[in-house]
Chains A and B, each alone.
Chain A
Amino acid sequence: MTDNVIEAVNLTKRYSGVTVVNGITFSVARGEIFGVLGPNGSGKTTTILMMLGLTDVSDGQVRVLGRNPAREPLEVKRWVGYMPDQVGFYDNLSAGDNLRYTARLIGLERLEREEKIRLALEHVGLPEVIDKPVQTFSRGMRQRLALAEILMKDAQIAILDEPTSGLDPQATLELLDAIRALKHRGVSVLLSSHLLERVQSICDRVALFSDGNIVLMGTVAELGRQVLGGGFHVEVEAEGQGLAAALRNVPGVSSVEETPPNRLRMISDRDVRPEAAVAVVGAGGRLRRLSVDEPSLEAIYTRYFQTSPVPTQGGRHAA
C-alpha cells in the first residue's frame, strides 16, 4: 500500500476526437495540498471529474484511495469531498437542511448527522446560520458551507475546483485558512485554480496544466529553480564595512550586488539566510533586514510559456 491517495497514470480524456486531457501522470500524497493550476480550459475540471467517476476515462487509469472511480464510484465518492466550481445549494432550504440532505445521501445516522453538521458548521465559522436559508448567503459563505459539507463527510481527500474564484480578499484568506485546517486534520487536498498567486502560499506541490498536459510539476521552489534558473534571491539590509566581500565568501552564493543605501542583493543556489546572517554579524555589520524572494508562480508560469513552446505530447515533469 503506497501512501499516495491519488495516482493517475497516462490519464487521457477525449470528447468526440478532441483530446482535452492528454496522458497526464501525477500522484497526490496523503496529507498533501496539491495545486492543479492552469488557465481556463486546460483540462483541470475534466481531470477532477474523472477522479470522481463522473465522466469516463478515455485512456490510462486513475486510482483514488486505491480504487478505480469508474468501477467503484460509490466507495470513492464516500471518502472524497468535492467542491465544484461555483458551488450551488438549494436556496429555499436552510444551511442545516442542505447539509442534512447530503448527510442522508451519504447514509449518516440521525444522531451522528446532527452532531457532525453542528461541528462542521462551527469549524468553518458558520454556526449561527444553521437555520438561515441559503439564499441570504454571500458567495464566501456558500464556499465555506461547501467546505463544511466536506468536513461533515469525514472525507480523506478534498477536491476543490476553483475554490477562491469570485471571492473578495478577506473571504479568500478565510477560505485558504479553512483549507489549511483541512490539511491539519490529515485530509489530502487537491485544488485547482487559475489564480496563481492566491494558492501559491498553501500548496505543497503544484502541477501546471496547459492544453491538457502537465507542463511542470513540483514544489514552487523547485519550479522556480528549474524555470527561472537563477536560484534564490536573498536581500540583506545591513550597516557596516566590507559586507559585500564577507557575503561573497558564503558558500553557495554566486553573486552579490550592492545597492545603496546599505542594501545587498545576492543570488544563491539555496536559501542562505542563516549563513548570511552569520557573515554579516561576523564582519561587524548591523543587520537590519534579511529576506528571500520566493519565486512566484506567476513569474514561473509567464517565463515558462515565454521560453518554451507548448509541448504537444507528454509534457515535462519537474519532479
Chain B
Amino acid sequence: MLEIKNLHASVEGNQILKGINITIEPGEIHAIMGLNGSGKSTLANIISGSDKYEITKGEIIYKNNNLFDLNTEERALQGIFMSFQYPAVIPGVNNTYFLKAALNAKRKYQGDIELDAMDFMDLIKEKLKLLEMDESYLRRSVNAGFSGGEKKRNEILQMITLEPELAILDETDSGLDIDALKIIAKGVNDYRTDKKAFLVITHYQRLLNYIQPDVIHVLIDGKIVKSGGKELAVTLEEKGYQWLSDNSVK
C-alpha cells in the first residue's frame, strides 16, 4: 500500500531524514519509535502532504502511484489520514459542520451521494458512542478549548468517520491518561481490518501494549537503525535507545 524508498528530506537546510525505507502492506500496523528530534513527525507530515519540507532524494509510492504527484487534499481524498500530534484550533466552526464538510468532500470525490444533516447526525452519534464521547462535543468549535485528551479523541473520531485506508497516528498517546488511552486503542482496534494499514508514531511502549504492531522501526537521527517484531518495544523499554545509536555509529 505504501512504499517509502530511500527518503531524504530537509527543512531550512537541515537534513532531517537520511534515507528511510519502509513498506507497509494492507492490514499491517507499523510502529515508528524514537526520541524527540529523530524525524518521526517529519515523516508523518511528509506523507500527509505538508509543504514545509524539502525532499532531497527518494520517493514514496502509495497505491501504485507517486505520492508526490498528489497535493494534501488529494491524498486525504484517496484515503490517507493523519491524527495530528497538535491538531489545529478553528474558532467559530463547529465540529459537526467541519466533519460533515470533510466527509462530504470525500463522498463527492468517490462519486457517492453527499449526506444531508439528518443522515450525518445519525452516523456521527453512533461514532461518538464508540469513543464514549458526549454529544455536546458536536456543538463545540473544532478543538477550541479542548483538553489534550479531548483533542486526541476527536482525531480518532474523525478517523473512524472518514474511514481512511492508511491512518498515521502521530503521538496519539501523548497527554492521555490510561482510561482515555484504552478507549482510543479500542477505537483503533475496532476499526482495523485486513484492508487498512496504520503507521503509529510513538515515544513509548505503552501505546503498543494496546495497539499491537506487526513491525516496529526504530528511528534515530533520520535513519531506521533497527526493525523488528513487537518484542523490540519491550527491549527498548528496558534498555533505552542508547545501545542502538552506539551500534549505528559503529
A and B associate in one complex: no
Interface residues of A (CB under 8 A from B): none
Interface residues of B (CB under 8 A from A): none
